[in-house]
Amino acid sequence: MFTLYMRSGSGSAAVEAILAECGVAIQLVDVPRDGQGFDNYLAINPRGEVPSLRLPDNSLMTESAAMVIYLADLYPQVRLAPAAGSPLRAAYLRWMLYFASAVYMADLRYFYPARHSVDPAAEAGIKAKAEIDLNRDFDIFAKALGQGPYILGEVFSAADIYAAVLISWAPDIEAVFARHQNIKRHYELVAARPKITPVWKSNSMFFHD
């Protein structure tokens, strides 16, 4: 069994959604933000970041994008990732890493600016620049997405799940949707998938009934 060390609404939601799509049994362990429970978690992941994933062989993974890529490849029958020889594989990896390295990092700078400078006076500027970066990154994604409806055109993949989780963190998701109707359509298609909707709701993520 997989054990997912998680926190509601965090990057663990993407991993939880992938495992749900794969129909895999998992144990969820909620990681508190502080206190003894968090101190105990540092023995598992010294950086204190969530998620962490305990594999059935008892080895540990960190980094949500790595988990998503690994799990999608581990269950090829679910078809959440193009095979290595597929012409879609390069685009799949591109967008996985784009959201992990660009959007995820900008989200963290926006919501946690104090982590990115030793000077408290810099926090407002860090947050403002992060919002500019997010708007640019969503513009880039919207242009590439086109009519989609998915990142790989008509082919749904784990990259769509990962992207949708990060889109849900947008400082003003309704403004993103108003500006980019194709991103809105993409997000809602992912959130409405029968195995993913319960994960979205349990993580208190943006969802229209």
Task: Tell me where in the chain the CATH 1.20.1050.10 domain(s) lie.
Answer: 89-193
- Count helices and strands (H / E) in the chain: 10, 4
Residue 209 pLDDT exceeds 80: no
CATH 3.40.30.10 location in the chain: 2-78
Return d(Cα 94, Cα 78) in angstroms, integer.
21
Is pLDDT at 16 greater than 90 in this prediction?
Answer: yes
* Residue spans of beta strands (DSSP E) within 68-134: none
Q: What is the pLDDT of residues 48-92, one digit of tens each?
A: 999 999 999 999 999 999 999 999 999 999 999 999 999 999 999
Is the backbone of residue 23 left (phi > 0), alpha (psi -120 to 50) or beta? left
> pLDDT tens digit string along 164-195?
999 999 999 999 999 999 999 999 999 999 99
Judged against a pLDDT cut of 70, whether residue 208 lies above it is answered with no
Q: What's the predicted TM-score (pTM) here? A: 0.95
Secondary structure element (H or E) that encloses residue 5, with its range: strand 2-6
pLDDT in tens, 105-159: 999 999 999 999 999 999 999 999 999 999 999 999 999 999 999 999 999 999 9
Per CATH, the architecture of 89-193 is what? Up-down Bundle (1.20)
Closest to 137 (Cα-Cα) out of 174, 105, 178: 105
Q: Could you tell me which CATH number the domain at 2-78 has? A: 3.40.30.10
Query: CB–CB of 65/100 below 8 Å?
Result: yes
pLDDT for the residue 136: 98
Please, what's the largest Cα pairwise distance for the chain? 51
Nearest to 65 by CA among 54, 55, 51: 51
Do 72 and 33 contact (CB within 8 A), yes or no? no
